[in-house]
Structure 1
Amino acid sequence: MSNNLLALLPEIILTVAGVLIMLAEPMIAPGKSRKPLGWLAILGTIGSMGAAVQQHIVTDRAGNLPITAFYGTIQFDNFSVFFHLLIACIVLAVLLASLDYFEGPVSHAGEYFALLCFGATGMMLMTSSVELLLVFIGLEISSITTYILAGFRKGQATASESSLKYFLLGSFATAFTLYGIALAFGATGSTSLAVLAMTLHSSMTPTLALLAVAMMLIGFGFKVSAAPFHVWTPDVYQGAPAPVVALMSTAPKAAVFAVLLRLLFNGAPALRGEWLLLVTILAVASMCIGNLGALAQKDVKRLLAYSSIAHAGYLLVAFTCFQADAVSAACFYTAAYAAMNVGALLVITQLGGFDEHLRSIEDFTGVGLKRPFLTALLGFFLVSMIGIPFTGGFFGKFYVFSAAVHAGHTWLAVVGLLNSGVACFYYIRLLVALYSKPAAQKEVSVGKASPVAAVALIACALGTLALGIAPGKLLNLLQRSAPTLETGPSESELQPAAVPTSAVASITR
């Protein structure tokens, strides 16, 4: 198999699955179940995971060296394989939970399954691209699909508001990203990350290049819900379907964080002193605004929206560290957050159903007495978000904050810990409501999980538990999966001082 075909094989499989779904959907009579189309999307997602595993086998045989294709614009290595598998797992869990969610009230579920496949294609393309224009193409494919999915519950005012607001604000973010890419081309004469790194390393730091990185940070900051570019997040999460929120709060963010790791540590290490300050500001603002904003929320999805802003801040703390620690900490936290956040939102999906009649914290009062299994899972995911030991959330925060301390940013770790303490209040408030006795006169119907949705929920719970109990294997793998370019200086060349090996790795062994 040629490198060109193998490099895009996961994306090709997902694209073919999406096209087949679109061709098959009109052949199904109105009123008939669209569930077979969902199973076709699931098969396509599993196939893309198999292709990503094949990429790992090839890179392992090549001595873990990156393999490029399409004239150096696409590169697959263990770093891209990790994000391919992570995105595929998120999409697979969302598909399993959506099979019955769109059964009955919606006749256009086929488009939903196709859009999930196309969206995953764009996200995966971003993680393996080492050329900024190709990153932009992948970003747009991902964005357009999420714009549509956000307003998928047609006929509801909140859904229309969600989709329109996301589209309008997303257009501004897209403009910032594209202007940043144009300025990078003007500063270096190329949109390749390798050329960008070599040019910045061999010349004086140009103001134009710094402006380019700053504008791209603004565009990508919007996509990951980093403050102060977070204003769209609460309204969009509130109006979008719960399984769509589970997707858009994790998979696109994982893809964008992968791009940021390549851009900042491989493409612009010569500008580290400048972009480090910008990332630090974004991290502190996101943690503080996210957690303080969540305290005043009564709607559960809006609460989780502000929570996602805070978690973006925790993850950005990793970008202030040395490259080896930053990559492994960011990747680990991304995986842990994906498992617990997808799990929590999929539980809400099953409890509330398509109409989502369970919205406020008060609506969830006493749900634990009716659905003990689902409530126990939701409680476990909330505990992980707090950062209680033996959960993925605990070790994710521990590793990020430890890496910050090793890099000399102790104050940043303290800010993160204080914000984690603030977060306990709103997570515990929801936990208390789940197991409180409801008012005698209030009777709210509660949905239950289908067998296939239960598989996805159990998988998320096991993943969250495994990352909290035995994180060593994943950490060791991530420490060998740092993104690299075929050309361009490494951070060690720019920072001659020896970087001590993280003590966290020795703890986990």
Structure 2
Amino acid sequence: MAQVEIAFEAPAVDWWVLTPQIILVGAALGLLLVASLAPRALPGWVSTIVTIGTGAAAAIVAAVQWTVWDAAPRPTLNGAFVSDGFSLLLTVLVGAGLVMTALVAHSALDRYDMAPPEFAALLLASAAGAVVMAGANDLIVLFLGLESLSIALYVLIALAGRRASARESAMKYFVLGAFSSAFFLYGIALVYGSTGSTNLSGIGGFLFGSIGPTRESDYLLLVGIALLLVGLGFKVAAVPFHFWAPDVYEGAPSPVTGYLASIAKAAGFAALARVLYVAVFEQSTAWTPIMVGLAFATLAVGAIMAICQNDVKRMLAYSSISHAGFVLVGLSAVPAASGLVQWAEEGGGDAVSSSVFYLITYSFMALGSFAVLSVVGAELRSSEADASAHAYSRYGGLARRRPVLALAFTVLLLAQAGVPFTAGFVAKFEVILASINAEGYVLAAVAMVTAVVSAFAYLRVVLAMYAPEGSADGDDSTPTARPGRPRWGGLPLTSVFAISLAVAVTVVVGVFPQTLIEWSRDAVLSIIP
């Protein structure tokens, strides 16, 4: 019998495209190797410097690639991964989030009893997964990025093992995350069965060339899309897949919570945008009502539940859900168009770019807000192990004890409420305008009403901080960090840097938003085939 020889041709790899991921993964592995071989435990500042340097390097490389390639798509790995303006802008955001999280965590690792090398390595590994999700052009690669991000986050939350709330939060996040991954995998199988491809561009091309009478495989495709939305809806904490968020956010260490609310959420939305607008846009008439319903429920539940909380950390958790609803408003603003190019010409690019703009601005606001919570937790000598660690009463009189910290927190809270001359106001205005342009008047009205409702929750914290009577739980104690660490006004210097950066971005973008709006628009236009 004649033997048939099958030649295997390995896909070409453009290493320059993969440089940000290589930097992140290489730094994580290198740090673990050095920490395991070192005769003594590495000082905490070594891990912090490595994380900050790695995040900055990945962001700088992505910015250089944007400058060199002008946001043009550059695929590699046989089209399974693509570097374009969309992925590069999100990579810069991930790098900035890494830097800010490392700065905040530097003064908090002792309090949570977390080993610095392990914390830094897990943080870098999760960031690599986020970057992969932002540039994935294949559902299998997207799943690998999703799991890399999620598994590292499970362990990051549980790393503060002496706190029962952290262990409980990690287990809850893990169990629900496993279910969502199963839904996502089943969705991949159904989409592959109905289109014959897992490549996002291949799926989009197949659907574009097969528009016609409804076939049996179309129903499989719709079910597959619905399951993909379930998996990604869990990652972005969209209602009704949000039940894990308040408990996990409350139990996780504050620096990790800020990372969860910003970078992890941004990665989930980046993946969702690629799936909807690169792969299955031709089925937009089917998934647009679902997205509108998710946005409506997420806005309403997040806003209403936020004002019912008596704990600042849980309030910010439900607030994060509400902000996810605003991002969904932009993603669901699909004008009636016959194709992807016409969609872009009729303003669809502006709709999705408004969501990207919202993601970026909210990420800085969330990172800064949870950085303040981390500092306040140390200020009150709290291990955040008890349920009332961040009760409103503990913030009473904060403006008297720490006026600059209270002012920074006020700016970040007012920005989340959408006060003019802040990035939050511009972001809300952009997504609501996109919804109006797509004739989604009801959803736009709901978004405006929920913005007003959410403002009550933020103003309640501001009033508590500036209340003249002060808090019974507050005192003038200093954070429980090592005495030798640099301080400014009694606060950890690294946290001061992170909070200052968040406030600066929030104010500057609020006053001069046009540059970031244009970057977001260019990034979104780069994903259009």
Q: What residue number does 1:101 align with?
A: 108
CA distance 1:102–1:29, change in 2 (3 Å): farther
For structure 2, the 5+ residue unaligned runs are 1-11, 335-347, 480-489
> Quick check: 1:91 aligned with 2:98?
yes
Residue among 289, 299, 303 paired with 1:287: 299
CA distance 1:439–1:56, change in 2 (3 Å): closer
Count of residue pairs brought into register by the alignment: 483
CA distance 1:443–1:134, change in 2 (3 Å): closer
Q: Distance in 2 between matches of 1:400 and 1:486?
A: 20
Residue among 234, 238, 250 paired with 1:222: 234
Q: Which moved more, 1:394-403 or 1:347-356?
A: 347-356
- Give, in angstroms, the shift of residue 42 of structure 1: 1.3
User: Residue deviations 1:14-46, cap 9 Å, x none?
Assistant: 111111111122355667632212111211111
Q: What residue number does 2:370 align with?
A: 345
- Give, in angstroms, the shift of residue 306 of structure 1: 0.5
Q: What residue number does 1:494 align with?
A: none
> Quick check: 1:237 aligned with 2:249?
yes
CA distance 1:293–1:446, change in 2 (3 Å): farther
Q: Distance in 2 between matches of 1:117 and 1:427?
A: 32
Q: Which moved more, 1:99-108 or 1:415-424?
A: 99-108
Q: What residue number does 2:515 align with?
A: 473
Q: Distance in 2 between matches of 1:32 and 1:5?
A: 31
| Letter matched to residue 512 of structure 2 | A
Residue among 65, 77, 81 paired with 2:88: 81
Q: Distance in 2 between matches of 1:18 and 1:124?
A: 14
Q: What residue number does 1:50 align with?
A: 60
Map residues 105-504 of structure 1 onto 2, 5 A cutoff.
106=113, 108-203=115-210, 204=212, 206-322=218-334, 323-353=348-378, 355-356=383-384, 358-438=389-469, 442-444=473-475, 445=477, 447=479, 448-482=490-524, 484=526
Q: Distance in 1 between matches of 2:205 and 2:184?
A: 21
Q: What residue number does 2:47 align with?
A: 37
Supply the RMSD in Å over aligned alpha carbons: 1.8
Q: Distance in 2 between matches of 1:253 and 1:483?
A: 21
Q: What residue number does 1:9 align with?
A: 19
Q: Distance in 1 between matches of 2:461 and 2:47?
A: 36
SS of residue paired to 1:68: strand
Q: Distance in 2 between matches of 1:481 and 1:382?
A: 28
Q: Distance in 2 between matches of 1:440 and 1:185?
A: 58
Contact 1:314-1:397 within 8 A present in 2 as well: yes
CA distance 1:349–1:210, change in 2 (3 Å): same
CA distance 1:82–1:32, change in 2 (3 Å): closer
CA distance 1:388–1:485, change in 2 (3 Å): closer
SS of residue paired to 2:15: helix
Q: Distance in 2 between matches of 1:103 and 1:87?
A: 25
Q: Which moved more, 1:423-432 or 1:379-388?
A: 423-432
SS of residue paired to 1:72: coil
Contact 1:42-1:92 within 8 A present in 2 as well: yes
What's the TM-score, normalizing by structure 1? 0.91
SS of residue paired to 1:459: helix
Q: Distance in 2 between matches of 1:280 and 1:135?
A: 24
Contact 2:35-2:41 within 8 A present in 1 as well: no
Q: Distance in 1 between matches of 2:473 and 2:171?
A: 35
Q: Which moved more, 1:147-156 or 1:383-392?
A: 147-156
Q: Distance in 2 between matches of 1:439 and 1:389?
A: 29
CA distance 1:196–1:484, change in 2 (3 Å): farther
| Letter matched to residue 408 of structure 1 | E
Q: Distance in 1 between matches of 2:13 and 2:294?
A: 38
| Letter matched to residue 232 of structure 2 | F
User: Residue deviations 1:59-96, cap 9 Å, x none?
Assistant: 12xxx431111111111111111100011111111111
- Give, in angstroms, the shift of residue 210 of structure 1: 1.0
For structure 1, the 5+ residue unaligned runs are 488-509
| Letter matched to residue 16 of structure 1 | G
SS of residue paired to 1:408: coil
Q: What residue number does 2:75 align with?
A: 68
Q: Distance in 2 between matches of 1:105 and 1:253?
A: 24
- Give, in angstroms, the shift of residue 483 of structure 1: 5.0
CA distance 1:55–1:435, change in 2 (3 Å): same
| Letter matched to residue 447 of structure 2 | G
